[in-house]
Amino acid sequence: MRRSLVVGNWKMHGSSSSIEALVPTLAAAAGSQTDVVVCPVAVHISLVSQLAAGSELEIGGQNCSQHEQGAYTGEIAAAMLAGAGCKWVILGHSERRQYYGETDALVAAKSVAARAAGLTPILCVGETLEQRQQGQAEAVVTAQLAALVEVGLEETDVIAYEPVWAIGTGQTASPAQAQEMHACIRAFLQENVAEKAMAIRLLYGGSVKGESARELFAQNDIDGGLVGGASLKAEEFVAIIEASQD
Ligand code: PEP
């Protein structure tokens, strides 16, 4: 039985005061049957860490460097995230692939660096609307996963399927659409890392809300969610956490 996991990606949002207002509610909701993680911008990690102390709320980074350290202005090493209190890191988010040109190979290299620092990568895959309309969705996602095989897919614990057309658009994939792709990902894992395939947690991400979460999370191969906008609203995110506990 895979434990549910709900991850909030705060993207480039939040201020000290909004975080001080939000975290206590999320910290109170974390625990029991679901792992709950929030991923603030790097400068807010220590504040979240202080506010979440003593609770089961965990913290993740939104990205890390593939390098251990060095002259890489503006970058953050995985070990620095771990040192600041993170246990997790989102890698290969479509916004990073789209705006910063991150390739499958770079995401794979970052996942190696993250694991070496003791972080659990949350590896994002997903197709664009155009790719889906051209019938390439499964091929695109499979290719993204294939890039990870060479760097140890068997050491992967979490994969997030995030159709690009559903992120921040309000257009959630239907539970059937999401399950279809999750089943495809599970089949890929069975072919490539059979011994680990049933243990890897698969998250759905893309405009998840309190009202859509329950049916999505009820699907066989959906083990939780990667949540953007709704994770910044206490009531909405708590509803999503609760939906993962049913
Ligand atoms: C995300 O940023 O990973 C995401 C899923 O965003 P949203 O929930 O806002 O679509």
| 120-130 residue pLDDT tens | 999 999 999 99
The confidence band for 1, taking pLDDT boundaries of 50, 70 and 90, is confident
In this prediction, what percent of the chain has a pLDDT beyond 70?
100
Nearest to 141, CA basis, from 119, 161, 118, 169: 161
- DSSP for 107-163 reads HHHHHHHHHHTT-EEEEEE---HHHHHTT-HHHHHHHHHHHHHTTTGGG--EEEE--
Q: Distance (Å, rounded) from C-alpha 120 to C-alpha 227?
A: 17
pLDDT for res 122? 98
pLDDT for res 31? 80
Nearest to 244, CA basis, from 201, 207, 215: 215
Burial of 106 (0-12, 13-18, 19+ CB in 10 A): middle
Q: Give 162 Cα–ligand 1 centroid separation in angstroms.
A: 8
The CA distances from residue 113 to 52, 64, 76, 77, in Å, are: 26, 8, 11, 8
Q: Give 232 Cα–ligand 1 centroid separation in angstroms.
A: 11
Residue to mutate (ligand 1; options 89, 169, 227, 236; most atoms within 8 A of CB): 227
206 lines ligand 1 (CB under 6 A): yes
64 touches 89 (CB < 8 A)? yes
The confidence band for 33, taking pLDDT boundaries of 50, 70 and 90, is confident
Task: Report angle CA 56, 43, 213 to the nearest 5 degrees.
Answer: 45
Separation of first and last alpha carbons in the chain? 14
Active site residue 242: no
Average pLDDT rounded to a whole number, residues 14-23: 98
Q: Give 204 Cα–ligand 1 centroid separation in angstroms.
A: 10
Active site residue 235: no
